[in-house]
Structure 1
Amino acid sequence: MDDQVLRSLIKWPNVPDCYGWLALDRRGQWRMRDEFTQQNYLPGQVIQHASLNEFIIRNYACDEIGRYFFQNGPQRVFITLDATPWIARITPSETGQHLINQCHQTMEPAAALSDEKGNIYIVGTVDQTIYGNNKSISNNNQFIRRDSQTVALLHDHDLEHFSELAKLREEACSFGGSWNWQGKQLPLDPIHSDELASRFNYIAQPRP
């Protein structure tokens, strides 16, 4: 979280929250959604401005009930999630393959899930910023950073690559089995897409 953002919260603590105007799509792109876009259920315009994208990434956080938001100075802009709070890519490097999310963080995977639509989700740990207003998280309405287990939709461009890593067995509504990641066999289990939000404690469409 940027220092200037934290200072602005102290200076202007009562700025109204914003809902519906910013979305994270299935490919990890931030999208602006004006009133016309929202009323007509359109995806919105992809934000191309590099500095604005980086500003959103640095100030991306969630609250204790699972609503993700961009802290835009003193204003909290809650984010509509097309899929999950994180979108992951399999990225090669000189030291091997890594799972990188839309905030440029490396995820350490523990498992994967497959849903009835053929989507793959990575279950892993992310160092994320959390805002809390109760004693279980913070005593003074503070932002803290901590490692949290969460879920990331695997970018559809990486599905073929993932299939090369996986050993599949057919389940009732999806696939299960295992997948090889950096020499480890990790579980691949079926899940219904409707179960994701409750299981991983996030709200896809925050409301006032």
Structure 2
Amino acid sequence: MDEQVLGAMQKWPNVPAVYGWLSLNAHGDWLLHTQGGAREGQSGEKIANAQIRHFMNRNYAANEAGEWFFQNGPQRVYVDLACAPYIVRLADDMQTLLTHNELPVTRVSQWLLDAEGRLYMQTEHGAAMLAGRDMGLLSTRLQVMPGTAGTPAAATPLDQNHLQALHEGSILLVSLDGASDWTAPMQWLENALIPARLGFVREPAAS
């Protein structure tokens, strides 16, 4: 976090947190809900100002319960998550993966697919979902390894037969580009169960 934010937290430690005013959509956009109505169907307004977005990106974190927030000076603004705490996309080089707040992703320890074909992953930063626009490109780089003793040379591209096996309950060892840091178990899971599996809360609430 920014030093000025940490200083404000120390100076004013008891500022009440707010809920329902900020959300993160499936595209990785920050949305402001001016009436605090994120859960009442209020669509929200995309935050377009680059300086504000960069400030939010730098001061985004989670508590021990897996509730994500933007630390706005001394005030904690909890974030409603449409999908996951991080939305991952392909960078301009079409190889690197970046989170919506510009963190490079270098490791994955779990892959999850839901019924809508959305790809979730557990990264070194936390739970993430791949932006839908990049699914077609990234899926061509996913390889199924033949067990823990497999090598990239023996891997096979992820195909419809593998997807069917996942849907039927199989757990496959899947790698991105054959890289060991990107090799992890993949399974199919109901979307509603993904937050508990990956350790985050989609709708934080005051205790």
TM range (shorter): 0.7 to 0.9
Q: Is the 8 A contact 1:59 1:71 kept in 2?
A: yes
**Is the alpha carbon distance of 1:173 and 1:154 closer, same or farther for their aligned partners in structure 2, counting shifts above 3 Å?**
farther
| Equivalent residue in structure 2 for 1:151, among 118, 127, 138 | 127
In 2, distance between residues paired with 1:62 and 1:156?
A: 24
Matched residue, 1:113: 112
Deviation at residue 65 of structure 1 after TM alignment: 0.7
Deviation at residue 40 of structure 1 after TM alignment: 4.2
**Is the alpha carbon distance of 1:109 and 1:39 closer, same or farther for their aligned partners in structure 2, counting shifts above 3 Å?**
closer
1:46-66 CA deviation, whole Å, 9 max, x = no partner? 000001001101110111111
The more displaced of 31-40 and 6-15 is 31-40
Matched residue, 2:14: 14
| Equivalent residue in structure 2 for 1:181, among 173, 176, 182 | 176
Partner SS for 1:83: coil
Partner SS for 2:51: helix
Matched residue, 2:97: 99
How many corresponding residue pairs? 183
**Is the alpha carbon distance of 1:163 and 1:182 closer, same or farther for their aligned partners in structure 2, counting shifts above 3 Å?**
closer
Q: Is the 8 A contact 1:110 1:124 kept in 2?
A: yes
Deviation at residue 27 of structure 1 after TM alignment: 0.6
| Equivalent residue in structure 2 for 1:163, among 125, 130, 139 | 139
Q: Is the 8 A contact 1:82 1:204 kept in 2?
A: yes
1:129-186 CA deviation, whole Å, 9 max, x = no partner? xxxxxxxxxxxxxxxxxxxxx3211000011112212313113368965654233373
Q: How does 1:1-208 map to 2 (within 5 A)?
A: 1-35=1-35, 37-38=37-38, 40-93=40-93, 97-107=95-105, 108-126=107-125, 150-166=126-142, 167-168=158-159, 169=162, 170=164, 171-172=166-167, 177=172, 179-184=174-179, 186=183, 187-208=185-206
The more displaced of 12-21 and 38-47 is 38-47
Partner SS for 1:97: coil
The more displaced of 43-52 and 167-176 is 167-176
Structure 2, gaps ≥5 residues long: 143-157
Partner SS for 2:43: coil
The one-letter amino acid of 1:11's match is K
1:32-81 CA deviation, whole Å, 9 max, x = no partner? 01227447412201000001001101110111111110110111100001
Structure 1, gaps ≥5 residues long: 127-149
Matched residue, 2:149: none
Deviation at residue 117 of structure 1 after TM alignment: 1.4
Give the structure with the higher percent strand: 1
Matched residue, 1:143: none
Instruction: Give the TM-score, by structure 2 length.
Output: 0.80
Q: CA RMSD in A?
A: 2.2
